[in-house]
Amino acid sequence: MRLRALLAIAFGALSIAAASDPAERLPDPAQEARAREIFRDVRCLVCQNESIDDSEAELAKDLRALVREQVAAGKSEGEVKQFLTQRYGEFVLLTPSFNAWNLALWIGPFVVVLAGIALLLMRLRARGPEPELSEEETRRLKKIADPETR
């Protein structure tokens, strides 16, 4: 009995946290599932590091309604994301697309690491072998190392 009550409370809390107002949901469960999948990849423009699925901001609520409208109209995930990026810019997506405009963001870190490795190798190669000591330097070194010869 206790276990059932605890499970019911836990399930209820998860349902409240994970779902918005039931009146906002789409009547078709398949469409609602597609909309929820899109929610996870759309950034809340107020919170900025949260998806609209996790955010409680008013703008996130509006974006969820907008996505649900698009899904109910039969738009694909790509079409919905394209609509949102046209309206709000690519920043609205948590996972930016791979294109020429943001190529530096995707490849930049690898280029910096490779350039660092190349610079390190060039510096190590340019150092070359250490020069041999002259007879005078050898004598002075022996004198320093062996205090009895002073």
Fold of 2-92: Helicase, Ruva Protein; domain 3 (1.10.8)
Mean pLDDT computed over 106-118: 93
29-87 per-position pLDDT tens digit: 888 888 899 999 999 888 878 889 888 889 889 999 999 999 989 889 889 999 999 99
Residues paired with 135 in a beta bridge: none
> Do the beta carbons of residue 124 and residue 117 sit within 8 Å?
no
Q: Which residue has the higher pLDDT, 75 or 1?
A: 75
Say what percent of the chain tops pLDDT 90: 24
CA separation for the pair 8, 14 (Å, rounded): 10
